[in-house]
């Protein structure tokens, strides 16, 4: 693996993965404790509509997809706040419609053949240096927001009704969280692709939650685990000539299964 770092594209890939680990650890922890993985998956898959719009209009992919994701996140937030009993159905519809719009717009894009797999399953080895600065910006915004409103997010995550009674702006924080998720989705799109985003956002925090007793500790451990999974996945993909995004998820999934099995063995042992 170390000899591979002599290549700039491998150094960029590792840097992109480490930057993405921060978003996975911080934002992913909030996703897990608030149990909004389905909404996160909906945002991730609907984001394909932004990719299709970018190619159809000949706009820059990253900012166009980011804007599209932010709008989708706000729409899903509005739906889940006002129609809770039907929110899963509507989110599923937005999920499917977003992907359908993206595919249709890509098909209609004049004179351009788009590699759909690079967006669906990631292309971390093709991350340009310019995208690293955009990823850093997303990380800094996420860290600043979470640090500024940490206690409010903590109250929202573990007892929303109590937080509302204490005057915490639960509704506004919920929208802010969904916007942060949208930013993370666009960042991770280049790492593991839209199909696998939900796994990288949820697996490290899920594992971390078993070993810590605080939300802050969960975020720190999840960030470290994400970095390990990314580095390990890159090594596996380099050593065995496999797809990088899928290799990263496979390493994370192996850790998830190992921790789950260990937990069950521990509960059943005399």
- What's the full length of the chain, in residues? 270
Please state, in angstroms and rounded to a whole number, the distance separating the CA atoms of residues 94 and 121: 20
Q: Does residue 218 register a pLDDT over 60?
A: yes
* pLDDT at res. 267: 56
Q: Single out the residue of 36, 40, 52 nearest to residue 98, CA to CA.
A: 52
Exposure string for 78-105, b = 16+ CB within 10 A, e = fewer: ebbeeeeeebeebbeebbeebbebbbeb
Q: Does residue 4 register a pLDDT over 80?
A: no
Given pLDDT bands bounded at 50, 70 and 90, which one contains residue 112? low
* pLDDT at res. 130: 85
Q: Single out the residue of 85, 83, 87, 86 nearest to residue 42, CA to CA.
A: 87
Q: Single out the residue of 196, 225, 197 nearest to residue 211, CA to CA.
A: 225
Segment 131-140, tens digit of pLDDT: 899 999 999 9
Distance of CA 193 to the CA centre of its chain: 10
Q: Does residue 90 register a pLDDT over 80?
A: yes
Q: Does residue 35 register a pLDDT over 50?
A: yes
Distance of CA 55 to the CA centre of its chain: 22
Could you give the percent of the chain with pLDDT greater than 90?
Answer: 65
Q: Are 229 and 255 in contact (CB under 8 A)?
A: yes
Distance of CA 238 to the CA centre of its chain: 23
Mean pLDDT score, 3-23? 89
Given pLDDT bands bounded at 50, 70 and 90, which one contains residue 107? confident
Segment 63-77, tens digit of pLDDT: 999 999 999 999 999
Distance of CA 270 to the CA centre of its chain: 39
Residue-averaged pLDDT of the chain: 90
Q: Does residue 1 register a pLDDT over 70?
A: no
Please state, in angstroms and rounded to a whole number, the distance separating the CA atoms of residues 185 and 12: 19
Q: Which two tokens stand for residue 55?
A: 């190619």
Q: Does residue 57 register a pLDDT over 60?
A: yes
Please state, in angstroms and rounded to a whole number, the distance separating the CA atoms of residues 47 and 94: 10
Helices then strands (H, E): number in the chain?
13, 0
The conformational region for residue 111 under phi > 0 = left, psi -120 to 50 = alpha, else beta, is left
Segment 238-268, tens digit of pLDDT: 899 998 999 999 999 999 999 999 988 865 5
Distance of CA 11 to the CA centre of its chain: 21
Q: Single out the residue of 2, 75, 30 nearest to residue 180, CA to CA.
A: 30
Q: Are 222 and 211 in contact (CB under 8 A)?
A: no
* pLDDT at res. 269: 47
Q: Which two tokens stand for residue 73?
A: 């996140």
Q: What is the pTM for the complete model shown?
A: 0.92
């Amino acid at each position: 693996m170390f000899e591979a770092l002599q290549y700039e594209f491998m150094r960029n890939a590792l840097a992109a993965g480490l930057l993405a680990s921060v978003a996975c650890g911080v934002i992913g922890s909030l996703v897990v404790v608030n149990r909004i993985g389905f909404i996160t998956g909906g945002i991730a898959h609907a984001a394909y509509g932004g990719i299709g719009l970018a190619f159809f209009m000949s706009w820059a992919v990253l900012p166009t997809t980011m804007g599209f994701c932010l709008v989708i996140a706000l729409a899903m937030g509005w739906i889940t706040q006002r129609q809770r009993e039907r929110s899963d159905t509507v989110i599923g519809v937005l999920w499917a419609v977003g992907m359908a719009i993206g595919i249709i717009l890509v098909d209609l894009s004049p004179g351009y053949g788009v590699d759909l797999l690079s967006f669906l399953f990631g292309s971390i080895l093709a991350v340009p240096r310019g995208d690293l600065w955009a990823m850093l910006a997303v990380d800094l915004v996420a860290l600043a927001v979470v640090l500024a409103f940490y206690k409010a997010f903590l109250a929202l995550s573990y007892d929303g009704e109590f937080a509302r009674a204490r005057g915490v702006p639960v509704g506004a924080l919920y929208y802010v969280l969904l916007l942060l998720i949208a930013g993370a989705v666009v960042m991770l799109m280049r790492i593991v692709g839209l199909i696998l985003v939900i796994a990288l956002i949820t697996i490290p925090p899920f594992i971390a939650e078993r070993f810590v007793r605080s939300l802050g500790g969960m975020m720190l451990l999840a960030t470290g685990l994400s970095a390990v999974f990314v580095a390990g996945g890159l090594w596996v993909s380099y050593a065995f000539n496999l797809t990088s995004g899928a290799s990263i998820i496979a390493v994370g999934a192996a850790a998830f299964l190992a921790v789950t099995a260990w937990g069950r063995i521990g509960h059943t042992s005399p």
